[in-house]
Amino acid sequence: MRKHGHRLKESIASEINQAMVDLAEMRREKDYEGAGKRLEKLDRLLDKHLGFARKSTIREYAESIGVAVLIALLLRTFVVEAFKIPSGSMLPTLEVGDHIFVNKFAYGLRIPLTHVKFFRRTPRRGDVIVFIYPKDTSKDFIKRVVAVGGDTVEVHDGIVIVNGQPVEHHKINTVCTYPDQEEGSEHWDIRRCTAYLEHVKDGYYRVIQDVGPYARRVDSEPQRIPEGHVFVMGDNRDNSHDSRFWGTVDENMIKGKAMVIWWSSGTPDGIRWGRFFTLIHASTKDAVEGPLQVKAP
């Protein structure tokens, strides 16, 4: 009536208003039988004279679905987005087939379809980030930050050296194995590796290096990281296409920080129940130390 009452004749509007007053009076007096009769009368009047203003069932469903879609798009754009891990470059932290949530607000608010950010925050060493691949902006990559703007970094014989100091790096088992699938193919290889523990300010994380015929140490010359950029590497150090090959990542190209594995499935063990809701961050030493166990396909 507030929105559409002006479209009714005065006599009809008065009749509807009186019916509403009568219904309210019956409710106050707790005369529920009388209230039921007044309600039926009011419904008949509304159907007859204001039926055009009532939403259809289809419209109500459409509006509900539209609101849900809008909220989902806003969350995906500004808060969280899901990604699937396609390769083994982040083993043992992330396996092929892991599905993760990425916090898109961790390093600032990015305007959609642009690289402009507000409320910017700089990534820290040890963060696992998703970013737009600098050499092909249609692709997203996930790697670990090993140096930030202003740092000088080099990699020598598998050891990361930041500002002249080797990152704490010690062996946690002698030999491990992991299955490696060539991206986009069904072919799997079994690689032998050695697992190491690296320590940054916020905690520890594991990395692996190949041994045997696949071992190929990729070094990089000392370089100073420009402000507003980061140097990234995969935790699978000998099987990762990262900043050693194509350079640093502009912070404006970072989509967010990897938060949690919410689903994991793949060869050889199907659904990996034990990986569900695993947090992706540097942990205490006790949480990550111990033999690396990855099944072969």
Single-letter code of the amino acid located at 136? D
Which residue among 104, 143, 255, 257 is the active-site one? Answer: 143
Between CA 204 and CA 172 the distance in angstroms is 12
Which residue among 89, 240, 243, 264 is the active-site one? Answer: 89
Active site residue 89: yes
The residues carrying an active-site annotation are 89, 143
